[in-house]
Amino acid sequence: MSLGALSTCITQPPKNLVQRSSTHNRPLTTPNQNSVDKTNLVFRRKHNPIDPTVLWTSSIARRCRNGHLSEAATEFARMRIAGIEPNHITFTTLLSACADFPSDKTLYFGASIHSHLYKLGMIEDNVMLGTAIVDMYSKCKHVDLARMVFDDMTVKNSVSWNSMIDGYMRNGDVEDAIQLFGEMPYRDKISWTALIGGFVKRGHFEEALSWFREMQISGVEPDYVTIIAILTACANMGVLGLGIWIHRFALQRNLTNEVRVRNSLIDMYARCGCIDFAYQEFSKMEKRSRVSWNALIVGFAMNGRAEDALDHFSLMQKEGFEPDGVSFTGALTACSHAGLVDKGLQLCETMKKVHRISPRIEHFGCIVDLLSRAGRLEDAMQVIETMPMKPNEVVLGSLLAACRNHADISLAERLMTFLVDLDPDTDWNYVLLSNIYAVVERWDGVGKIRNKMKSLGIKKKPGFSAIEIDCCYHEFVAGDKSHPQTRNIYSMLEQLSLGFSLFGNAPTTFLEEFSDTEFAND
């Protein structure tokens, strides 16, 4: 779609976005008085009249800030009908609102504004408008149009470049983001954070850490947003040593006073298995948010400290914090790990009836896991069959694992219908069912599953182990020879194997012998 094609879009808001005004006799020469605060009214004195464009823009901005985009579009339409010319602030306000609440309707409205600005020739030289349009198209998942606008801008600043990079990362165009990053005339902390944060959001945690190292080499000081992104990467990878180093790094730069950094530290320590460190950070906080409580509750639950999780779930409410869906996920997880079936079911009812929170898929997953761990497999299956949304692999996986533990072949076979519909090309569901057959020595079933995988072209993905040494992350698969220290690793394994043998506990894993020629190039 070219800019020329965009110029054919309407310059008025689409009818399905504009709401009819309930007050038919209100004059169009002034904005809706309900949206103009008392401060604005004071300024409308005869001896000091305020620019009508400013009044209308203020009225539109108020609606945009409150997320009432339809009302903002209606007010904009009234402004145009009244003959009041909007300025670049008016257009930027509307475009930013379209970016903050992306949908097909807001994209259509944003494109119509872009068309009008294009006809007026206001985009090329106005960096604020150009950047707002780039951001709007990027967040509406039209990064190709965003790049077209970006390339046509004759004036760009760091915000323009950062918005385009963020747009690429947001839409998964990593290579284009890196290429554009390399073309930047000047890279500030926001540029680096946009790239690093983009990698974290896409789940490319190792790349995020690599680019953080490049940021340090370049001499650009990170801000607290960068630290949050890196701590998130450390949490997902489970690299405790690096997480501690980042913590110290943030302390030296007085970045840990930010509540969101503390929350990230709590989450990182909890997910790395150091729940006592997480609690220590929580205890130091002078000001806590609901996210702080949630991070600690979920941390306690995932580390097996169910009683602490439930105690803090109650304590957060006594402190005046209303629990949300995440809070209940943590509490339900704690009940599941502790085997508190009745308590978990009671919490679910409280969530729905008292707090008016509609259960999401993660809550149903907790209930399925709760019942599965308690051996109530049919009840768990009934939850899956009656839940209002399709179950995902996590929900189904917890029950399938329980089928293996209880050697329930018939229920596992029923579950396979859901699993094949969910993702017919994945390997883990077939492998798990094959293992269930093997547990009960149903070798015909094992062969049937393997033949089916072969006919579908599905291959089992090799599992890997990971370990962190001196803040470096190492991954291994069985028989791996790619590591630069392979010779030393296998030498140590031989020593361990010999040690076990001396104590009469010889390992069953076969240790492959290597010839000296394989290490000639080390």
- Tell me if 345 is assigned to some domain: no
Which tens digit of pLDDT belongs to each residue from 40-92? Answer: 544 454 556 678 889 999 999 999 988 888 899 899 889 889 888 888 999 99
Q: How far apart are CA 500 and CA 507, in angstroms?
A: 7
Which tens digit of pLDDT belongs to each residue from 131-178? Answer: 999 999 999 999 999 999 999 888 899 999 999 999 999 998 999 999
Query: In 354-474, where does DSSP find H-type helix?
Result: 361-373, 377-386, 393-405, 409-422, 428-439, 443-456
Q: What is the pTM of this model?
A: 0.76
Share of the chain above pLDDT 90, in %: 54
**398 and 467 together in one domain:** yes
Q: What is the pLDDT of residue 428?
A: 63
Beta strands in 155-246 (DSSP E): none
Beta bridge partners of 56: none
Q: Which residue has the tokens 């698969």?
A: 477
Of 287, 310, 345, which residue sits at a domain end? Answer: 287
Q: What is the pLDDT of residue 22?
A: 45
Of 156, 186, 216, which residue sits at a domain end? Answer: 186
Q: How far apart are CA 90 and CA 60, in angstroms?
A: 8
**266 and 141 together in one domain:** no
- Is the model's pLDDT at 465 over the cut of 80? no
**405 and 467 together in one domain:** yes
The residue among 366, 372, 358 whose CA lies nearest residue 392 is 366
Of 139, 158, 186, which residue sits at a domain end? Answer: 186
**181 and 246 together in one domain:** no
Which tens digit of pLDDT belongs to each residue from 239-267? Answer: 999 999 999 999 999 999 999 999 999 99
| DSSP track, 15-68 | TTTSPPPS-TTS-TTS--GGGS-HHHHHH-BTTBPPPHHHHHHHHHHHHHHTT-
Q: Which residue has the tokens 């607290």?
A: 224
User: With bands split at pLDDT 50, 70 and 90, how would you rate the model's confidence at 456?
Assistant: low
Residue 368 has phi, psi (to 5 degrees) of: -60, -45
| DSSP track, 278-323 | HHHHHHH-SS--HHHHHHHHHHHHHTT-HHHHHHHHHHHHHTTPPP
- Tell me if 510 is assigned to some domain: yes
**239 and 171 together in one domain:** no
**195 and 246 together in one domain:** yes
**177 and 102 together in one domain:** yes
Q: Range with the lowest mean pLDDT among 113-127, 130-144, 362-376, 492-506?
A: 492-506
**224 and 253 together in one domain:** yes
Two tokens, residue 265: 């530290």
Q: Range with the lowest mean pLDDT among 188-197, 350-359, 509-518?
A: 509-518
Q: How many residues does the chain have?
A: 522
- Tell me if 330 is assigned to some domain: no
Q: How far apart are CA 255 and CA 278, in angstroms?
A: 17
- Tell me if 221 is assigned to some domain: yes
Q: How far apart are CA 224 and CA 256, in angstroms?
A: 8
Burial of 293 (0-12, 13-18, 19+ CB in 10 A): buried
User: With bands split at pLDDT 50, 70 and 90, how would you rate the model's confidence at 443?
Assistant: confident
Which tens digit of pLDDT belongs to each residue from 287-328? Answer: 999 999 999 999 999 999 999 999 999 999 999 999 999 999
Handedness of CA 59, 65, 66, 72 (dihedral sign): positive
Which tens digit of pLDDT belongs to each residue from 178-200? Answer: 999 999 998 999 999 999 999 99
Please give the tally of structural domains in the chain. Answer: 4
**57 and 176 together in one domain:** yes
- Tell me if 495 is assigned to some domain: yes
Domain that holds residue 142: 50-186
| DSSP track, 321-349 | PPP-HHHHHHHHHHHHHHT-HHHHHHHHH
